[in-house]
């Protein structure tokens, strides 16, 4: 199957935004920009009451940045442009006036952890292990870091960022606050998502919009902050260390 991003709003005002990429739902720059636009448009759509962010398949929610695209970056300007895509997605989720439910059915790596953290209420399965692998390829979780640290705290974020080769299971993620709920299988997860989305679709939109402002208070400077972080990642990704590390990962 080819990669895609699609959006659907049902008659109750529940908008589902789904993304897919054949490489474990990794996200190249074009898809990042499209995803940011879809979230932004849903936030402006009067027919949308609540948003569900989801990906296709069962094994991976999101593998983060596309390694093919990372390996093709040859200069800091292009590196900055690529990582700005993750900044745009997170900022579109932050500024969206609608509450966003995350459907986390599988593994999250790097930027995928950032997406899960930027949702307002993440519901996961036991298969939703997480890992921040950026340091292993010579960079760091700079752009997604603020969203993750905001959700799980500095200590837990530090553990993930430093021990870049280790997976944390879904129970760890739930205990740290990344996931609001964890279910034993996808059926139970989807039932819980449907229940919550239905409830929120009948709630006062103005009240939810005001709640969202409160939830994200103190992040008003993130447009600048995440852009500055994208500059750091863009510089590091063209280093000799990163190029060799990505080549090794792709060769496995």
CATH number at residue 72: 3.90.226.10
Q: Which residues of 165-183 are buried (b: 16+ CB within 10 A; e: fewer)?
A: eeebebebbbebebbbbbb
The length of the chain in residues reads: 252
Q: Which H/E stretch holds residue 13? A: none
Q: Is residue 42 part of a domain?
A: yes
Q: Is residue 28 part of a domain?
A: yes
What is the per-residue pLDDT for 38? 98
Q: Is residue 250 part of a domain?
A: no
Q: Is residue 218 part of a domain?
A: no
User: For 198, phi and psi rounded to 5 degrees?
Assistant: -65, -45
Q: Is residue 125 part of a domain?
A: yes
Q: Enumerate residue ranges in the chain where pLDDT < 70.
A: none
- Domains contained in the chain, number: 1
DSSP for 116-184, written as a single string: HHHSSEEEEETT--EE--GGGGT--STTTHHHHHHHH-HHHHHHHHHSTT--B-HHHHHHHTS-SEEES
Domain extent, residue 184, equals 4-201
Q: Is residue 223 part of a domain?
A: no
What is the per-residue pLDDT for 110? 97
What is the per-residue pLDDT for 249? 82
CA distance 112 to 64: 5
Say whether pTM exceeds 0.85.
Answer: yes
CA 160 to chain centre: 15
What is the per-residue pLDDT for 101? 99
What is the per-residue pLDDT for 1? 81
Q: Is residue 235 part of a domain?
A: no
3-state secondary structure of 1: coil
Q: Is residue 225 part of a domain?
A: no
């Amino acid at each position: 199957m080819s990669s895609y991003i699609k959006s659907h709003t049902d008659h109750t005002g529940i908008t589902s935004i789904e993304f897919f990429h054949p490489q474990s739902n990794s996200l190249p720059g074009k898809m990042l920009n499209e995803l940011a636009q879809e979230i932004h448009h849903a936030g402006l759509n009067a027919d949308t009451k609540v948003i569900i962010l989801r990906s296709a398949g069962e094994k991976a929610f999101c593998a983060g940045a596309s390694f093919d695209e990372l390996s093709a970056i040859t200069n800091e300007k292009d590196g900055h442009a690529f990582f700005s895509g993750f900044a745009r997605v997170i900022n579109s989720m932050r500024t969206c006036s609608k509450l966003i439910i995350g459907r986390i059915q599988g593994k999250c790596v790097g930027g995928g952890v950032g997406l899960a953290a930027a949702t307002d209420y993440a519901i996961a399965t036991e298969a939703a292990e997480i890992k921040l692998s950026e340091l292993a390829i010579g960079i760091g979780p700079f752009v997604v870091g603020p969203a993750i640290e905001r959700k799980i705290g500095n200590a837990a974020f530090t553990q993930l960022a430093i021990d870049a080769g280790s997976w944390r299971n879904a129970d760890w993620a739930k205990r740290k606050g990344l996931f609001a709920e964890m279910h034993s299988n996808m059926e139970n997860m989807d039932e819980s998502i449907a229940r919550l989305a239905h409830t929120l679709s009948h709630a006062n939109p103005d009240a939810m919009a005001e709640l969202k402002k409160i939830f994200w208070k103190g992040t008003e400077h993130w447009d600048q902050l995440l852009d500055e972080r994208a500059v750091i990642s863009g510089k590091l990704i063209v280093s000799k260390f990163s190029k060799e590390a990505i080549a090794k990962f792709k060769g496995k």
